[in-house]
Amino acid sequence: MKILKIPKLPGESQIKSAVVKTTGGLVPTRKSPEDALGVLFDDVQTKRVYGDGKIFVDLIPRRRMKQIQQEYILLKDDPRFDLRDFVSRHFYKYGAYDSAYHTDTSMTPREHIAELWHVLERKNRRDRGSLIALPYAYIVPGGRFSEQFYWDSYFIMLGLAADNRWDTIEGMMKNYAYMIRKFGFIPTANRTYFLSRSQPPFFAHMVKLLARHKGRRRTLIEYLPYLLIEYRFWMKGRGSVKEVSEHQALARVVQMPNGVILNRYYDNKTTPRPESHKEDVETAHGKNGQETEALYLHLRAGAESGWDFSSRWFEDPNDITTIHTTDIIPVDLNSLLYQLEISIAEAYRYMLQPILAKKYLLAAERREYAIQHYCWSEEEQFFVDYDFKKSAPTQHLTLAAVFPLYAKIATSKQAAAVAVRIEKDFLKEGGLMTTLENTGQQWDAPNGWAPLQWVAIEGLRHYGYHHLADKIKHNWVKTNEKVFKEQGKMIEKYDVQSHSGVGGGGEYPLQDGFGWTNGVLAALLEESKD
């Protein structure tokens, strides 16, 4: 007797995910707060109603923003008007997930991380203020960051993979596929005010990570359409960049003197960042007109880089007003795009499309040659960024130099020189410093960051420098464990030189949670068990 298998009815969660996927592409995205609220937005941020500008842009309006704006214009000139009270009556905060969490100090760091995935998980299937709905659950970094951030997510996924949470990884990947379909690229995070910029393109790495679980051929073919859209976003303008008279740069592409197209970080707006409005306005104080717009563009591009901020982008290491991010060909960005081109070529090979595979392989080879030509400093024996307006390398030595090793672009001789310099100048008791400049910016010395430790360790391993990689790993893990033991938390960044290990600097207070620290530490500890 044949038993009929009754299909399982979709649960409420599956239905909600399906609704977002189906309707999300049809429903227009709301305006960003600075566009929707006008003078109210400017007053709240400039008068610093909240100490952290991100708090306001993340609040949810109780009514349509246009109505709130109109009411504000009517009331604001009344002598008895209270701006803070007005905001508190018309906006509210969505969720306070982390505030009630208390660390169980009897746990090991590894156990703590496994538990934290539940604390850092979010489900948001409808637009809420500036927060954009996504069909599947996702992991956030923590602290002030309650969105699915782009490059953070790759390092978070490393930890999720270590904990065998492949369903969560795949859900986050489907969220990225959804955003690529909806916006044509992956924004910094799912916020309306991030829709003018992206972040370091780690999507191809996420695809390959998921392929460990689902199979390489199947996964690369499945995500090939999204890899191609990601690539087109970064390469937009390459067909017309030759017609640009000055420096042959357009959006995120730059045509180099040898004819090869390389990339830079950019942003599609030239206004203050909404989440850091007051800081940007203060930085631009004394400038005017085109000078002000150029400064805002450089600040926004620096934010797209993920290194916001670092002396890496400054002409004067101690003066943020000398930032010139869009003049720079970043060695890390171009190494990541090389890996994207290689991934697309591999996917086309699996599809038995040799002509298309060769096209992207040749693009990768041209990029590799250009990185070697423009981003290798014979004088420093180190990979550096390149200032295409000055036709010269920048003078800053940073951990971005390990990305060509991570991408397997470096020659054996170059890798040996980079390894020597890393050990001599960057390696400290707590791990690797980000730069050699101590400026108070958070992406400078003495801070170390989890993603850069991982890229350095993996890059050095590619060239056989296992002893140095293990030393970096040991120092970094020791610092993470020490701070956890003393403070009961994982933090965003670490001071790799001080006894405390607690990082600082930057535009906002040190954040705990913390997504990519958890992910990298879990992955490093898990490999030690093998």
Active site residue 279: no
- Which of 434, 145, 442, 141 has its CA nearest to residue 308? 442
Catalytic pick among 304, 308, 341, 444: 308
Torsion of CA 93, 508, 189, 87, to 10 degrees: 30
For residue 40 the two structure tokens come to 């109210």
Contact by Cβ (8 Å): 286, 263: no
β-strand partners of 448: 494
What does residue 142 show for φ and ψ, rounded to 5 degrees? 115, 175
Length of the chain: 530
Contact by Cβ (8 Å): 459, 416: no
Contact by Cβ (8 Å): 121, 172: no
Distance between CA atoms of residues 55 and 52, nearest Å: 6
What does residue 277 show for φ and ψ, rounded to 5 degrees? -60, -50
Active site residue 308: yes
Catalytic pick among 58, 152, 437, 492: 492
For residue 527 the two structure tokens come to 């490999």
For residue 212 the two structure tokens come to 């460990």
Which residues in 277-368 belong to E strands, given as ranges?
A: 328-329
Which residues in 378-439 belong to E strands, given as ranges?
A: 382-383, 386-387, 392-393, 427-428, 431-432
Active site positions, annotated: 308, 492
